[in-house]
């Protein structure tokens, strides 16, 4: 687990390390979670990305999923929902 406080730092960390899953907030300083997801997929198309956002319910209702995002997770999120999202996204088989 690697914790960073901006999209730019997340991309730098991703570029220099190996991760099984990317979980990002949508609103971050520098690079947004949407932009981070697109960059992650450009570098590693098979890498699963979960986007957490306070607007998740609205996005899901509208069928919106930014480029590079595999799963939109509304905030706040309870532990059981969080675990299900990880299992469905990172361990689909």
Q: What is the CATH number of domain 7-90?
A: 3.40.50.2300
Q: What is the pLDDT of residues 71-83, one digit of tens each?
A: 999 999 999 999 9
pTM equals 0.87
Integer Cα distance of 93 and 89 in angstroms:
10
Q: What is the pLDDT of residues 24-83, one digit of tens each?
A: 999 988 899 999 999 999 999 999 999 999 887 788 778 888 899 999 999 999 999 999
What residue segments make up the domains of the chain, in order of their start? 7-90
CB 6 within 8 A of CB 33: no
Integer Cα distance of 27 and 8 in angstroms:
12
């Amino acid at each position: 687990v690697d914790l960073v406080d901006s999209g730019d730092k997340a991309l730098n960390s991703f570029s220099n390390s190996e991760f099984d899953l990317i979980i990002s907030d949508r609103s971050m300083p520098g690079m947004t979670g949407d932009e981070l997801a697109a960059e992650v997929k450009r570098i590693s198309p098979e890498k699963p990305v979960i986007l957490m956002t306070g607007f998740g319910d609205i996005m899901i209702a509208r069928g919106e999923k930014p480029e590079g995002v595999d799963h939109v997770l509304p905030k706040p999120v309870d532990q059981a929902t969080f675990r299900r999202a990880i299992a469905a996204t990172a361990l689909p088989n």
